[in-house]
Structure 1
Amino acid sequence: MKKGDRTRKHIIMKSAEIFNQRGYAGTSLNDIIADTGIKKGGIYRHFASKDEIALEAYNYAASMVASKFSEAVDQEQSASGKLLSFFRVYENVVNDPPFIGGCPMQNTAVESDDTHLELCGQARQGMHNFLDMMKSIIRDGIQAGELKEDLDVDALASFAFSLLEGGILLSKLDGDNKHMLMNKKIFSSYLQECCLKIS
């Protein structure tokens, strides 16, 4: 990797952490300069604006979390195990989140909802990507005979994702992982009692 590419990646990585902890509005160019150790001219050599940095930083943060989800899913054989693996990635969200500052999609969506349409659009796309991943798992589970044929795939994916994101939000706000752990337990029971096909 060339020096310029390494510098650009360094800016993106450090900025992703700052934006995910402080938000877009709460992060200044001076914050990025301080955390990266790169002067203003060096930043502008690679990025035209704070907006451009923020968009690249979000993509980086989201890709890091997506990678953790993929790794967790790949370790499971059953559809229910794969769906529950999303919760395991965030079960210690208070002390050890998969990306510093919590869920990049949630943080970005909450802050940019009415203030930054492009960032909001990226968060929305991230939501759809994760929902599509869950839907694919559910469809595979139905096809394999593990999950009931009459399941509403869209509704189950939305329910799972809502429990996941709600658990992240409440646990972060309360400073206690109990909300995530309770949601994981509830979803596990739901899968066992309502979704698994009984032969």
Structure 2
Amino acid sequence: MNDEFEEIPLGAGELPAPADETSNSKGELPPAARRALTELLSRGALTSTGRAAAYEAIRLNRARIEAILNDLNLELILDATTGIAAIRAAESPDGDEGAHPLLRKRPLSLYDTLLALVLRRHYRDRENAGDAKIVIDVTGIQAALGPFLPLTKSDALERKQLNGALDRFREWAIVAPVRGVDDQFEISPIIRIVINLEWLDQVLAEYEQMAAKLTAEPESGDE
């Protein structure tokens, strides 16, 4: 009796590649990558330290995810150095950038804007000092926000207001509480995408000038 098929010993030829998370016969995203993309669209950004599995799924399926986002007029930002995955609206022909309906617009209040600026400055300063993990405590945040109080029309930094802002920043994955330590927060590398360094110093200087002017106005009015 003759065999119909020639037996191929192991190692004599290529074996079929095992199923993995990078593709399937239909060219669709595997489940883990679909979940990761859904999370990325919902959150706007994630990190390899905070969401390791999702980040890895996006990294492994980068080309396919970029193609999907391109169809939605979105761009993928994947920074292997900092471990950041983020999305942003691609520039449209009419210049309407950032208007895609899948991107949740987050108009920041003045207080939130100031908080983002001081966090970004602290991140830059500590990164330049060689810190691998950038941490700031509530006292440091309050001290950094102090010079800008005239802009917020407040005489003192209310802890309730700061807590509310920090809760929003936690939701946006910009800060995370340090485990086991009260009132300390780790600043995520995501803030590097949120605020450009070239813009940071200019805006901070303008706000400082505005705050100084408001502080001086009552004195000049009493003369």
RCO higher in structure (CA 8 A, sep ≥6)? 1
Higher strand fraction (1 or 2): 2
- Greater Rg by CA: 2
Does TM, scored on the shorter chain, surpass 0.5? no
**TM-score (ref. length: structure 2):** 0.31
**TM-score (ref. length: structure 1):** 0.33
